[in-house]
Structure 1
């Protein structure tokens, strides 16, 4: 059974002024998981640590077996940075935290 796909705008801190319309259910699920996984304040977590934390929180119906989770993680991460909700630390590996 297919679902009616509602859309939401996803931005990117790396491409100011660019936005794309994406599946709102998947965006919201990843955003919720990401915000639950990423701590407030420095030093934050690496992207690998964040991915490990978000995967168990994603609804299997939207991300069966974690399918496409990496793409959504990166897209939502960049969107939340563009919106001033997440921040990155300078250094390697990249670390993120909530503001």
Structure 2
């Protein structure tokens, strides 16, 4: 069982594996990610998501956007693995909530 300050995350690119990350950081990014991501096509590109996330993240956890890129990718891959976010098969990729 994971300690209360950790959460297990999955990665759509590595099915069946999980790793533990900081729960507060994950929860903050997850909440922001789901808030900015539209629920319909065409979705948003990763660059558009990154721009929108900047205004949604708590400064006490992400001062000046520090480490937001790593956390955004971690949350993206976890949400895709859990089926909450889908990737449109275009270039550049576009994501949307399910």
With normalisation by structure 1, the TM-score equals 0.93
Offset of residue 91 of structure 1: 1.1
Q: Which residue of 2 aligns with 1:85?
A: 84
Offset of residue 61 of structure 1: 0.8
CA distances 1:44-82 after superposition (whole Å, capped 9, x unpaired): 000000011111111111111101100000000000000
Provide the rounded CA distance (Å) in 2 between the counterparts of 1:86 and 1:79.
9
CA distances 1:16-42 after superposition (whole Å, capped 9, x unpaired): 011110000000000000000000021
1:10-89 alignment runs, 5 A limit: 10-89=9-88
Q: Which residue of 2 aligns with 1:9?
A: 8
Provide the rounded CA distance (Å) in 2 between the counterparts of 1:68 and 1:11.
19
SS at match of 1:84: coil
Where in structure 1 are there 5+ consecutive unaligned residues?
none
Runs of 4+ with >3 A deviation: none
